[in-house]
Structure 1
Amino acid sequence: MRVLVVQNYDNTGLGQVGAALAEAGADLDLRRPYQGEALPEDAAQHDAMVVLGGGQNALADDDYPYFPALLELTRDFAGKDRAVLGICLGSQLVARAFGGENRIGAANEFGWCGVSLTPDAKVDPVLETLPENFPIFQWHDDTFALPENAVRLAGNDVAENQAFRIGRAVYGFQFHFEADQPMVRDWSAAFAPLIAARNPDWAGKLDGEMASNGPQADAAGLAIARAWVATI
């Protein structure tokens, strides 16, 4: 199993998705196109693709000129029935790839927030075992309208479209289910000035929020990661 991992920003990583891929014995091919590394021309050499998050928005082609090629690559993976996973920015790019409207600055969320599954999620192979409501880590300003052929799987009051599926195994998750408690703590240190500028009380709240929400969020996130890997 060879999995392409597209990293779009410094200090991002696979987190619980990486744990699930390691359990499955996956061979990872990490590309950092924002640092000038080339993307594959097509999906022929990979069984699946993960597109990670980042601080940029999904329409920032001028600053990230590889975005159009990434959109085409996403469509090629889908056309070859290869599994795709987009997380946060990755989900916004997957939505864009299939004609969804990106809505910049329309949905600000940070920290552990609740999401609710839709009825379609209860028969979805990746989400069917999850509770109807659970907390999960969020960090985004943007959202999107679903492509016409997408199945809506989760939402909340801030972002109606928190998770969706296209076809058999192309998934977009607005929330950071890959971010377990150690990753959130690492992000809170690595991005401390950025977080403090908009959430000045976060450092003081972190331990309490982690104790209240971390275990349930981690369990949900690992279940999602393992179930997605099983679609490959």
Structure 2
Amino acid sequence: MRVLVVQNFDNEGLGQIGAALVEAGADIDLRRPYQGDALPDDAAEHDAMVVLGGAQNALDDENCPYFPGLLDLTRDFADNDRSVLGICLGSQLLARAFGGENQIGGATEFGWHRVSLTPEAKTDPVLAALPEKFPIFEWHDDTFVLPDNAVRLAGSAIAENQAFRIGRAVYGFQFHFEADRPMVRDWSTSFASLIAERHPDWHDRLDGEMARNGPDADAAGLAIARAWVATI
């Protein structure tokens, strides 16, 4: 099993997805196109693709000139029945790739927030085993309107479209289910100045928020990661 991982920003790692891929014995092919790494021309040499998050918006082709090629690659993976996973920015790029409308700003969520599954999620192979509502880590300002052929799987009070599926195994997740407690703590340190500008109380809230929400969020995130890996 060879999995292409597209990283879009420093410190945006695989987290619990990486743990699930290691469990499955996957060969991870990490590309950082924002640092100049070339993307494959097509899906032929990979069984699945993961597109991670980033601070960019999904329409920022000027600063991320590799975006159009990544959209083409995403469609090629889908056309060849390869599993695809997009997280945060990755989900916004997935929506764009399949004709959804990106909405820049107006949907800010940061920290652990509760998401709710839709009735369609109850029969979805990745989400069926999850509770109807659970806390999960969020960090985004943007959102999107779903592509016409997407199945909506989860939403929140701020962002209606938190998870969706296209076809058999192309999944977009607005929330950071890969971000377990160690990753959130690392982000809180690595991006401390950025977070403090917009959420000045985060440092004081972190331990309490983590204690209240971390165990359930970590369990949900690992379950999602393992279930998605099982689609490959």
Do they fold alike, i.e. is TM over 0.5? yes
SS in 1 for 2:13: coil
In the alignment, the residues of structure 1 paired with residue 157 and residue 200 of structure 2 have an alpha-carbon distance, to the nearest angstrom, of: 23
Percent identity, aligned pairs only, is: 80
In the alignment, the residues of structure 1 paired with residue 82 and residue 174 of structure 2 have an alpha-carbon distance, to the nearest angstrom, of: 20
Aligned: 1:231 with 2:205: no
Aligned: 1:108 with 2:108: yes
In the alignment, the residues of structure 2 paired with residue 106 and residue 224 of structure 1 have an alpha-carbon distance, to the nearest angstrom, of: 27
- 2:80 — aligned with what? 80
Runs of 4+ in 1 over 3 A off after TM superposition: none
Q: What does 1:15-164 align with in structure 2 at a 5 Å threshold?
A: 15-164=15-164
TM-score by length of 2: 1.00
TM-score by length of 1: 1.00
1:106 CA drift (Å):
2.0
Amino acid paired to 1:5:
V
Amino acid paired to 1:6:
V
- 2:186 — aligned with what? 186
Q: Structure 1, residues 150-202: CA drift from partner, whole Å, max 9, x if none? A: 00000011000000000000000000000000000000000000000000000
SS in 1 for 2:137: strand
In the alignment, the residues of structure 2 paired with residue 49 and residue 138 of structure 1 have an alpha-carbon distance, to the nearest angstrom, of: 22
Superposition CA RMSD, Å = 0.3
In the alignment, the residues of structure 2 paired with residue 14 and residue 117 of structure 1 have an alpha-carbon distance, to the nearest angstrom, of: 23
In the alignment, the residues of structure 1 paired with residue 32 and residue 220 of structure 2 have an alpha-carbon distance, to the nearest angstrom, of: 28
Q: Structure 1, residues 115-168: CA drift from partner, whole Å, max 9, x if none? A: 000000000000000000000000000000000000000001100000000000
SS in 2 for 1:151: strand
In the alignment, the residues of structure 1 paired with residue 146 and residue 157 of structure 2 have an alpha-carbon distance, to the nearest angstrom, of: 16
Amino acid paired to 1:87:
I
In the alignment, the residues of structure 1 paired with residue 6 and residue 160 of structure 2 have an alpha-carbon distance, to the nearest angstrom, of: 26
In the alignment, the residues of structure 1 paired with residue 217 and residue 129 of structure 2 have an alpha-carbon distance, to the nearest angstrom, of: 14
In the alignment, the residues of structure 1 paired with residue 12 and residue 147 of structure 2 have an alpha-carbon distance, to the nearest angstrom, of: 26
Q: Structure 1, residues 32-88: CA drift from partner, whole Å, max 9, x if none? A: 000010000000000000000000000000000000000000000000000000000
In the alignment, the residues of structure 1 paired with residue 70 and residue 183 of structure 2 have an alpha-carbon distance, to the nearest angstrom, of: 26
In the alignment, the residues of structure 1 paired with residue 10 and residue 108 of structure 2 have an alpha-carbon distance, to the nearest angstrom, of: 21
In structure 2, runs of 5+ residues without a counterpart are: none
